[in-house]
């Protein structure tokens, strides 16, 4: 009785496929309470060239909001912390396969019957599906301005939303998840 499990597995795949992978690491010796200001120092290797102006603004606005919740203020230059950003997009293909087993009379050996009506021939049909998509990786690096040492890094890897209205909602949400990994928790207002 494999048929009911096919849609469940596909549903699980779609749900898990849509979620972002969030990773983060930080310098355990750094005193994050001393970072009251920060400045954006640009995009590494001009990686922002693959983004439109709307998405760049969505990203920086979401980061500014999250750092503000942690008591940090954006300054044009010379902040206590320097933030650099990096993005890369890779084309990917996912494959799924589903095998549907059909007995001649609808039941048979798989039900424990060896002989009788279900002993007819067994056929199987396998359906293979391919899905092309873009996977984006976004990296936030935070450096101590004085020592030039990396003190925090956050990474988001997710499927790129093709629909701009979905990106408008997804970008702040994913950056919010990323910032939960930041060593300073948001202040309650």
105 inside domain: no
pLDDT score of 127: 86
pLDDT score of 46: 85
pLDDT score of 145: 96
Is the distance from CB of 151 to CB of 142 less than 8 angstroms?
Answer: yes
Tell whether pTM > 0.85. Answer: no
Nearest alpha-carbon partner for 40 in 149, 127, 140: 140
Q: What is the mean pLDDT of residues 129-158?
A: 94
> Which of 2-11, 15-24, 74-83 ranks highest by mean pLDDT?
74-83
In which domain, by residue range, is 153 found? 26-96+137-179
Q: Which residue in the block uniquely carries the two structure tokens 């998405």?
A: 55
Output the domain CATH number for residue 70: 3.30.160.670
189 inside domain: no
Weakest mean pLDDT among 1-10, 53-62, 98-107, 123-132: 1-10
pLDDT score of 2: 40
62 inside domain: yes
130 inside domain: no
159 inside domain: yes
| CB-CB neighbours of 176 under 10 Å | 14
Cα-flanking dihedrals φ and ψ of residue 76, to 5°? -65, -40
**7 or 60, higher pLDDT:** 60
For residue range 65-105, list pLDDT tens digits in order. Answer: 999 999 999 999 999 999 999 999 888 888 888 887 765 55
Confidence check: pLDDT of 8 > 50: no
Confidence check: pLDDT of 150 > 80: yes
| Cα separations in angstroms, 140 against 118, 132, 183 | 61, 27, 14
The rounded distance, in Å, linking the Cα atoms of 148 and 81 is 9
167 inside domain: yes
Confidence of residue 33 (pLDDT cuts 50, 70, 90): very high
For the chain, the domain total comes to: 1
**188 or 46, higher pLDDT:** 46
């Amino acid at each position: 009785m494999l048929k009911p499990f096919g849609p469940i597995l596909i549903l699980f795949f779609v749900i898990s496929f849509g979620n972002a992978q969030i990773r983060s690491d930080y310098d355990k010796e750094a005193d994050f309470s001393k970072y009251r200001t920060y400045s954006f120092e640009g995009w590494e290797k001009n990686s922002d060239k693959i983004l439109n102006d709307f998405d760049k603004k969505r990203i920086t606005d979401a980061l500014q909001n999250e750092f503000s919740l942690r008591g940090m203020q954006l300054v044009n230059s010379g902040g206590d912390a320097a933030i650099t950003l990096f993005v890369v997009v890779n084309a990917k293909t996912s494959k799924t396969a589903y095998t549907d087993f059909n007995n001649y009379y609808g039941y048979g050996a798989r039900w424990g019957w060896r002989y009788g009506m279900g002993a007819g021939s067994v056929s199987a049909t396998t359906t293979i599906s391919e899905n092309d998509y873009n996977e984006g990786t976004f990296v936030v690096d935070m450096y101590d301005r004085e020592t030039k040492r990396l003190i925090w890094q956050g990474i988001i890897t997710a499927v790129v939303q093709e629909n701009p209205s979905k990106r408008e909602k997804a970008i702040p949400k994913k950056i919010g998840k990323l910032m939960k990994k930041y060593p300073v928790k948001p202040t309650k207002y």
